[in-house]
Amino acid sequence: MDIRTLARFAGQAMAVGGAWKSLRQAREQDDKLKLLDAVVRVLTVAITIALIVREVREQRSAKAALDLED
């Protein structure tokens, strides 16, 4: 895993905290619009993490394929 991927993971890890905080506050305030915004934030973070994981897996499988050719 390269430094760029680690930085992306770290950024998303920080975003998770903010997204959960927004979600909790929206639920406490019973504000439907803020709740929708918070849910979208959480989903955005989850999708971004899934994309990063897929990218890492593709890099590993491409590297393994190159190792097999040698």
pLDDT band for position 63 (cuts 50, 70, 90): confident
Structural domain count of the chain:
1
- Angstrom CA distances, 55 to 11, 41, 49, 61, 66, stand at 16, 21, 10, 10, 17
Q: For residue 69, what pLDDT is reported? A: 65
In which domain, by residue range, is 38 found?
Answer: 3-69
pLDDT grade, residue 26 (50/70/90)? very high
Confidence of residue 24 (pLDDT cuts 50, 70, 90): very high
40 pLDDT more than 90? yes
The Cα–Cα gap between 9 and 36 comes to 24
Residues 20-37 have a mean pLDDT of 94
